[in-house]
């Protein structure tokens, strides 16, 4: 790309020391260069802002997902922080907006109610596959390789007029279905895992342009962010042994709403 479009969202620094920098990544900003995106990525923005070309990511967030993201500035510590995430020693908590309605039975995998007879929280397990060269992941028969604990929180956006109305083709829309906040605890880290698991329950995340179906949008259309945020990250610092906890300030909100869902 000769004329790379500017992504109109700022990236705040939540914490920094001589070893790491923790940022609040906005929606639409890829973690590192890929495809048409180079300067408009979290990594290159941070390197250019601080004048430190050796900064590297300790882990990644999907381009469409906002929230807490850790970078390593001291190359001698790079391996220690990256292994922290590769070995799943960091606790990650996500939040999203999705329809408030009864779940539908997924085609593959299992659902376990954690506190029956309450429908939530529930544990969703399935086998997720992401093939090289394809945009979306999918579930199929096989030993479960993806596991997510899902909690349902408060009603954030009621349907228009305070009444339930079915949306065209059954899809969620702020004027047709009430929207709730969900808290997601991934126990594995498959590509698009949270988006796939929510969609498989009939609860596609607001703003998702891949699930349940791929929607083509202009590359410079930033009007409908995926309402999925990596809200909290907790880990024991592998160098100092200190307990670390970082919380994203990115709000959850509907595209046509000036207010947000309290977090």
pLDDT per residue as tens digits for the range 124-155 = 999 999 998 888 999 999 999 999 999 999 98
In this predicted structure, what is the pLDDT of residue 259? 65
Q: Are 92 and 66 in contact (CB under 8 A)?
A: no
pTM: 0.90
Q: Is the pLDDT of residue 9 over 70?
A: yes
Q: Sign (positive/negative) of CA torsion 72, 232, 236, 88?
A: negative
- pLDDT mean over 50-78: 96
7 preceded by a cis bond (ω within 30 of 0): no
What pLDDT score does 148 carry?
Answer: 98
Confidence of residue 171 (pLDDT cuts 50, 70, 90): very low
Which has more pLDDT, 25 or 156?
25
CA distance 153 to 95: 10
């Amino acid at each position: 790309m000769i004329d790379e479009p500017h992504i109109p969202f700022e990236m705040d620094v939540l914490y920094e020391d001589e070893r790491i920098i923790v940022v609040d990544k906005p929606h639409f900003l890829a973690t590192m260069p890929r495809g048409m995106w180079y300067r408009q990525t979290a990594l290159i923005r941070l390197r250019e802002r601080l004048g430190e070309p050796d900064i590297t990511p300790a882990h990644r967030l999907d381009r469409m997902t906002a929230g807490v993201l850790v970078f390593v500035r001291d190359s001698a510590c790079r391996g220690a922080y990256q292994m922290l995430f590769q070995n799943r020693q960091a606790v990650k908590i996500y939040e999203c907006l999705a329809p408030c309605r009864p779940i539908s039975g997924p085609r593959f995998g299992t659902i376990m109610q954690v506190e029956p007879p309450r429908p939530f929280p529930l544990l969703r397990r399935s086998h997720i596959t992401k093939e090289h060269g394809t945009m979306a992941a999918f579930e199929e028969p096989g030993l479960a390789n993806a596991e997510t604990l899902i909690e349902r929180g408060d009603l954030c956006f009621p349907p228009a007029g305070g009444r339930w109305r079915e949306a065209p083709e059954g899809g969620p829309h702020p004027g047709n279905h009430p929207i709730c906040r969900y808290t997601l605890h991934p126990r594995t880290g498959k590509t698009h895992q949270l988006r796939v698991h929510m969609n498989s329950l009939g609860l596609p995340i607001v703003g998702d342009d891949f699930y349940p179906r791929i929607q083509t949008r202009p590359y410079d259309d930033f009007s409908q962010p995926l309402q999925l945020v990596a809200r909290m990250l907790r880990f024991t610092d592998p160098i100092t042994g200190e307990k670390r906890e970082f919380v994203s300030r990115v709000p959850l909100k509907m595209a046509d709403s000036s207010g947000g869902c309290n977090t």
